[in-house]
Structure 1
Amino acid sequence: MIRKLPSGRWQVDLRMDGRGSKRIRKSFDSKAEAKRFETFILTKRAEGKDWNPSKADNRRLKELVQLWFNAKGVHLKDGERRKRCLDVIADFMGNPIARTVKPAAFLAYRAYKIQEGASTKTLNNHLGYLNAVYNQLHRLNEIDFENPIRNVEMIRLDERELSWLTVEQIRHLLKTIEEFSQNPHVHLLTRICLATGARWGEAENLQLRHVQEGKLRFVNTKSGKSRSVPVSPELFQEIREHLEAHGGFSFSLSAFRRALDKSGIELPSGQAAHVLRHTFASHFVMNGGDILSLQKILGHSTITMTMRYAHLSQDHLVEAVVKGPLVSLN
């Protein structure tokens, strides 16, 4: 609106998008000048152009990465690793002005990493990390421009083969560990993972205080949430005695991998100790366990991850035989 001030000058006072939005106030010697300015501002507003636009943001990408790390990354378990990865991406691109990054620049980085042998899942993670920098800072009003790589698509991944051990393979693996491994922890850690579906690192982190009332309490998990899983009385007592004697588990993953190689059991590429978690979940479902209980035991944040095991349900398998289209022909 336009109003006359006590000084005799005329003032334009506008809120561009209502209460709480950006305010423009400017004074003029005559009402006609004030009117022309008001018309100019409203015209520019209709065209989508700001009055007195802010200075262009010329901060470099690595500067935004540092801002993201201070705001978010420092609170993540893998924040330091993500920041190192983001710095590598920025250096590959020549550490450009962040708002000017082109999708082609990231695509060039991705193509280079594929030639180096990086997995598609890893490269999808890298794209997610970079998206997170822009999106997080935009939410915090640290930047006022859109994410310039928002239209870059993730690489479509084939569903990963879900491998699990048979009862005979479990026996053979445990016997191999018992006969050939010099590590005092690996045999028990293997059985803990098979009995609870725990990740190897979760089992290694167990302390005596986590073994109470017939249950194992897993902390510092991937989801950040603690969970408790009951075990048999015999295994429970063995774990307590082992921890009392040793004070804790040492890093034993390498010992497990050596024993797995010695056993001759073949697994898909990239799978080692995680096959124990898959084995627990697969046998749980095949033995009649329900998916919702399995979700809680495994600590999955969504049911989608747990549903990968649903096809192993005996009811599911029987229905494939008795409810298929060929039944009608018979």
Structure 2
Amino acid sequence: MGACCLMAIEKLSDGRWKADIEPVKGKRFRKIFKTKGEAQRFEASCRAKLVDNKDWSPKPKDKRRLSELMQLWYDLHGHSLRYAAGRLRKLLYLAKRLRDPVAIRLDPHVYANDRRLRMEAGTSPKTLNNELGYLRAVYNELRGLGVIDYPNPLELVKPLRVQERELSWLTNEQIAELLEAIRTGCDNPHVEVIVLICLATGARWSEAEKLKQHSVRNRVITFSGTKSGKVRSVPISAELEARIIRHWREHGQPNSAITAFRRALARTTIKLPKGQAAHALRHTFASHFIQNGGNIVTLQRILGHSSLAMTMRYAHLAPDHLQDALRFGPISASIPAL
């Protein structure tokens, strides 16, 4: 009977004919006719619907593997994202680690176990959470496009809890020490001006390093090609503007200077956590901004954070926050005067 579950015609004791038809599982029709020909025509009608009506035709099982879905995601959507090629490489590496299962049968337990092994081997929880987000995005985007019609198998997998790291920032004395080390022993002339831009605007190192001449005018720096993809502008002093323009006139556009910066930093007494060398300049701007009474919402706009929650990491440095610790702490009134 082809793809149907049941199609039967039988003669009843009273001479009539019964058609018992189940074209697809869950859709069963029983009908009694006066003649066998009527019953047969009814059966033929059901056969035709089975062919013509997609709701009556059982869908073939989706046997595409995880790597195939990843490539489809890239071709249909991912190619438009920043760092798209790098994202695809990470996804395909993950598919290989998971032994490239049939995508619809990706087992959350297998995924979670592999995640545990990688964390024990030294992969950071933040990296693993990013990968979970990338995997979920593949399924969600393809389902939205109609490429797949089943739920995301990792929908209920929770991200790992990430221990928030203390943000390192430089004191005024450390800033002076760093600039002195750059001025007296740095072999790259671009390092100092990049550091000054980062300290004055909270820019990321890459944003300051790739700055174009037309982006500095009327005492405002405009950053484009940012991490968030949004353009933002930050005012600077007339002195810094003149310093930047003079530097470009004498040395041209900055080139890759991060290695020279790290060498200069190593010659100081400043100790920063791994991975926070150049980014500490951004933290330094934000920390001093809040300590000096700056508004947290204004800081969000200056830094280009997409959500205020990211900027709130600096809120504890606000002067009123610090004074509240003194005023409302449990032993503030119990210590005798000297």
Q: TM-score per shorter chain, which class?
A: 0.7 to 0.9
SS of residue in 1 equivalent to 2:267: helix
Q: Which amino acid aligns with 1:71?
A: L
Q: Which moved more, 1:238-247 or 1:124-133?
A: 238-247
SS of residue in 1 equivalent to 2:234: strand
From the superposition, tell whether residues 318 and 115 of structure 1 become closer, same or farther in structure 2 (CA, over 3 Å). closer
Higher Cα Rg, which structure: 2
Q: CA deviation at 1:34?
A: 6.3
Equivalent residue in structure 1 for 2:87, among 82, 86, 89: 82
Q: Which runs of 5+ in 2 are unaligned?
A: 1-32, 47-54
Q: CA deviation at 1:80?
A: 0.6
Equivalent residue in structure 2 for 1:247, among 244, 252, 256: 252
CA distance in 2 between counterparts of 1:133 and 1:57 reads 16
Query: 8 Å contact 1:295–1:306 — kept in the other structure?
Result: yes
Q: Which moved more, 1:143-152 or 1:197-206?
A: 143-152
Matched, 1:159 2:164: yes
**Seq. identity, %:** 49
Equivalent residue in structure 2 for 1:57, among 59, 62, 84: 62
CA distance in 2 between counterparts of 1:182 and 1:282 reads 29
Over residues 172-220 of structure 1, what are the superposed CA-to-partner deviations in whole Å (9 max), with x where a residue is unaligned? 0111111111001001111110010000000011010101111111111
The aligned counterpart of 2:144 is: 139
Q: CA deviation at 1:244?
A: 3.0
Q: Which amino acid aligns with 2:85?
A: E
CA distance in 2 between counterparts of 1:148 and 1:105 reads 11
The aligned counterpart of 2:316 is: 311
Q: Which amino acid aligns with 2:234?
A: V
Q: Which moved more, 1:68-77 or 1:320-329?
A: 320-329
The aligned counterpart of 1:21 is: none
Q: CA deviation at 1:328?
A: 6.6
Over residues 135-192 of structure 1, what are the superposed CA-to-partner deviations in whole Å (9 max), with x where a residue is unaligned? 1101111101111122222110111111111000110011111111100100111111
Q: Which amino acid aligns with 2:74?
A: F
Equivalent residue in structure 2 for 1:101, among 106, 126, 150: 106
Q: CA deviation at 1:61?
A: 0.9
Q: Which amino acid aligns with 1:181?
A: C
Equivalent residue in structure 1 for 2:184, among 174, 179, 194: 179
CA distance in 1 between counterparts of 2:152 and 2:130 reads 17
Equivalent residue in structure 1 for 2:292, among 287, 291, 314: 287
Over residues 95-122 of structure 1, what are the superposed CA-to-partner deviations in whole Å (9 max), with x where a residue is unaligned? 1111111112222332332243211111
Query: 8 Å contact 2:170–2:284 — kept in the other structure?
Result: yes
Query: 8 Å contact 2:139–2:152 — kept in the other structure?
Result: yes
CA distance in 2 between counterparts of 1:174 and 1:188 reads 10
SS of residue in 2 equivalent to 1:263: coil
Equivalent residue in structure 1 for 2:117, among 104, 109, 112: 112
Q: Which runs of 5+ in 1 are unaligned?
A: 1-27, 39-49
The aligned counterpart of 2:96 is: 91
RMSD: 2.3
The aligned counterpart of 2:7 is: none
CA distance in 2 between counterparts of 1:68 and 1:221 reads 24
Q: Which amino acid aligns with 2:148?
A: I
What aligned pairs does 1:13-24 form with structure 2 within 5 A after superposition? Answer: none
The aligned counterpart of 1:219 is: 224
Q: Which amino acid aligns with 1:142?
A: V
Q: CA deviation at 1:278?
A: 0.4
Query: 8 Å contact 1:207–1:247 — kept in the other structure?
Result: no
CA distance in 2 between counterparts of 1:247 and 1:105 reads 53
The aligned counterpart of 1:18 is: none
Matched, 1:266 2:276: no
SS of residue in 1 equivalent to 2:159: coil
CA distance in 2 between counterparts of 1:160 and 1:201 reads 22
Equivalent residue in structure 1 for 2:240, among 235, 255, 258: 235
CA distance in 2 between counterparts of 1:319 and 1:31 reads 87
CA distance in 2 between counterparts of 1:254 and 1:319 reads 42
CA distance in 1 between counterparts of 2:276 and 2:296 reads 23
CA distance in 2 between counterparts of 1:290 and 1:305 reads 14
CA distance in 2 between counterparts of 1:116 and 1:33 reads 67
What aligned pairs does 1:30-45 form with structure 2 within 5 A after superposition? Answer: 30=38
The TM-score with structure 2 as length reference comes to 0.81
Equivalent residue in structure 2 for 1:323, among 314, 325, 328: 328
Q: CA deviation at 1:267?
A: 1.1
How many residues align? The count is: 292
Q: CA deviation at 1:32?
A: 11
The TM-score with structure 1 as length reference comes to 0.83
CA distance in 2 between counterparts of 1:166 and 1:86 reads 41
Q: Which moved more, 1:105-114 or 1:74-83?
A: 105-114
Query: 8 Å contact 2:197–2:203 — kept in the other structure?
Result: yes
CA distance in 1 between counterparts of 2:332 and 2:163 reads 32
Equivalent residue in structure 1 for 2:78, among 57, 70, 73: 73
